[in-house]
Homo-oligomer: A and B are copies of this chain.
Amino acid sequence: MLSKKSQYAFKALAYLAIKYNQGPVLISEIAKKKKIPLKFLENILLELKKAGILDSKKGKGGGYFLNKSPEKVKMATVIRLINGPIAMLPCVSLYFYERCKNCDEKHCGLHDMMLEVRDATLNIVENRTLKDLIV
Protein backbone atom coordinates (compact mmCIF):
# COMPACT_ATOMS: atom_id res chain seq x y z
CA MET A 1 0.00 0.00 0.00
CA LEU A 2 1.09 3.53 -0.73
CA SER A 3 1.51 5.56 2.45
CA LYS A 4 -0.67 8.56 3.10
CA LYS A 5 2.42 10.65 2.54
CA SER A 6 2.70 9.26 -0.99
CA GLN A 7 -0.91 10.01 -1.70
CA TYR A 8 -0.43 13.57 -0.48
CA ALA A 9 2.67 13.86 -2.64
CA PHE A 10 0.79 12.77 -5.73
CA LYS A 11 -2.10 15.12 -5.03
CA ALA A 12 0.29 18.00 -4.60
CA LEU A 13 2.25 17.08 -7.71
CA ALA A 14 -0.93 16.75 -9.74
CA TYR A 15 -1.88 20.24 -8.63
CA LEU A 16 1.52 21.63 -9.54
CA ALA A 17 1.39 19.80 -12.86
CA ILE A 18 -1.79 21.64 -13.77
CA LYS A 19 -0.14 24.92 -12.79
CA TYR A 20 3.06 24.15 -14.66
CA ASN A 21 4.71 27.26 -16.09
CA GLN A 22 2.37 29.57 -14.23
CA GLY A 23 4.82 30.61 -11.55
CA PRO A 24 5.30 29.55 -7.92
CA VAL A 25 2.39 28.14 -5.92
CA LEU A 26 2.07 28.66 -2.18
CA ILE A 27 2.32 25.61 0.08
CA SER A 28 -0.74 26.94 1.85
CA GLU A 29 -2.69 27.06 -1.40
CA ILE A 30 -1.89 23.44 -2.18
CA ALA A 31 -2.65 22.41 1.38
CA LYS A 32 -6.02 24.12 1.29
CA LYS A 33 -7.10 22.99 -2.16
CA LYS A 34 -5.94 19.41 -1.69
CA LYS A 35 -6.81 19.17 2.01
CA ILE A 36 -3.37 18.19 3.18
CA PRO A 37 -2.04 19.12 6.66
CA LEU A 38 0.12 22.17 6.03
CA LYS A 39 3.21 21.30 8.02
CA PHE A 40 3.19 17.75 6.77
CA LEU A 41 2.99 19.03 3.22
CA GLU A 42 5.99 21.29 3.86
CA ASN A 43 8.10 18.22 4.60
CA ILE A 44 6.90 16.43 1.51
CA LEU A 45 7.51 19.31 -0.86
CA LEU A 46 10.95 19.91 0.59
CA GLU A 47 11.81 16.27 0.01
CA LEU A 48 10.60 16.50 -3.57
CA LYS A 49 12.70 19.62 -4.02
CA LYS A 50 15.83 17.97 -2.65
CA ALA A 51 15.26 15.16 -5.13
CA GLY A 52 15.18 17.68 -7.95
CA ILE A 53 11.55 17.20 -8.85
CA LEU A 54 10.42 20.55 -7.53
CA ASP A 55 12.06 23.91 -7.10
CA SER A 56 11.02 26.84 -4.93
CA LYS A 57 11.24 30.54 -4.48
CA LYS A 58 11.28 32.36 -1.16
CA GLY A 59 9.70 35.63 -0.09
CA LYS A 60 6.68 37.37 -1.52
CA GLY A 61 5.49 35.85 -4.77
CA GLY A 62 7.34 32.69 -3.83
CA GLY A 63 6.20 29.10 -3.59
CA TYR A 64 6.82 25.76 -5.21
CA PHE A 65 6.81 24.72 -8.83
CA LEU A 66 7.75 21.77 -10.99
CA ASN A 67 11.38 21.72 -12.02
CA LYS A 68 10.63 20.01 -15.34
CA SER A 69 7.57 19.40 -17.41
CA PRO A 70 5.02 16.92 -15.98
CA GLU A 71 5.62 14.29 -18.65
CA LYS A 72 9.25 14.09 -17.61
CA VAL A 73 8.57 13.04 -14.04
CA LYS A 74 8.02 9.30 -13.89
CA MET A 75 5.61 7.82 -11.36
CA ALA A 76 8.21 5.23 -10.42
CA THR A 77 10.62 7.96 -9.35
CA VAL A 78 8.14 9.53 -6.99
CA ILE A 79 7.02 6.21 -5.52
CA ARG A 80 10.61 5.18 -4.81
CA LEU A 81 11.40 8.52 -3.26
CA ILE A 82 8.40 8.93 -1.00
CA ASN A 83 7.15 5.39 -0.51
CA GLY A 84 10.20 3.21 -0.95
CA PRO A 85 10.67 -0.04 -2.88
CA ILE A 86 8.22 -0.95 -5.62
CA ALA A 87 9.07 -4.66 -5.49
CA MET A 88 7.40 -6.94 -2.97
CA LEU A 89 10.68 -8.44 -1.77
CA PRO A 90 14.12 -6.90 -1.24
CA CYS A 91 15.68 -9.70 -3.30
CA VAL A 92 13.81 -8.60 -6.44
CA SER A 93 14.21 -4.87 -5.98
CA LEU A 94 16.27 -2.87 -8.44
CA TYR A 95 16.88 0.16 -6.26
CA PHE A 96 16.63 -1.37 -2.79
CA TYR A 97 18.15 -4.77 -3.44
CA GLU A 98 19.13 -7.00 -0.54
CA ARG A 99 20.29 -10.57 -0.81
CA CYS A 100 18.05 -13.27 0.64
CA LYS A 101 19.38 -14.99 3.72
CA ASN A 102 18.87 -18.76 3.87
CA CYS A 103 17.51 -18.94 0.37
CA ASP A 104 19.09 -19.47 -3.00
CA GLU A 105 17.68 -16.93 -5.44
CA LYS A 106 18.47 -19.21 -8.36
CA HIS A 107 16.09 -21.84 -7.03
CA CYS A 108 13.33 -19.94 -5.29
CA GLY A 109 9.80 -20.06 -6.59
CA LEU A 110 8.78 -17.04 -4.55
CA HIS A 111 11.66 -15.04 -5.96
CA ASP A 112 10.65 -15.87 -9.53
CA MET A 113 7.04 -14.98 -8.92
CA MET A 114 7.82 -11.70 -7.22
CA LEU A 115 10.16 -10.84 -10.07
CA GLU A 116 7.22 -11.22 -12.44
CA VAL A 117 5.07 -9.00 -10.26
CA ARG A 118 7.77 -6.39 -10.10
CA ASP A 119 8.19 -6.33 -13.87
CA ALA A 120 4.46 -6.07 -14.44
CA THR A 121 4.29 -3.16 -12.02
CA LEU A 122 7.36 -1.40 -13.38
CA ASN A 123 5.99 -1.73 -16.87
CA ILE A 124 3.25 0.60 -15.77
CA VAL A 125 4.82 3.02 -13.32
CA GLU A 126 8.00 3.52 -15.35
CA ASN A 127 5.93 4.51 -18.34
CA ARG A 128 3.50 6.86 -16.68
CA THR A 129 4.25 10.38 -15.56
CA LEU A 130 2.71 13.25 -13.65
CA LYS A 131 1.01 14.19 -16.90
CA ASP A 132 -1.11 11.06 -16.59
CA LEU A 133 -2.37 12.27 -13.24
CA ILE A 134 -4.21 15.08 -14.97
CA VAL A 135 -7.52 13.90 -16.33
Interface, chain A (partner B; CB < 8 A): 1-2, 7, 10-11, 14, 34-35, 75, 84-85, 87-90, 101-103, 107-110, 112-114, 116-117, 120-121, 123-125, 128, 132-135
Residues of the B chain whose Cβ atoms lie less than 8 Å from the Cβ of A128 = 113
- 24 of the cross-chain contacts (CB-CB < 8 Å) are A1-B85, A1-B90, A2-B89, A2-B114, A10-B110, A11-B103, A14-B109, A34-B102, A35-B101, A35-B102, A107-B135, A108-B135, A109-B132, A109-B133, A109-B135, A110-B133, A112-B132, A112-B135, A113-B125, A113-B133, A116-B124, A120-B121, A120-B123, A121-B121
Of B2, B110, B123, B133, which contacts A88 at CB under 8 A? B2
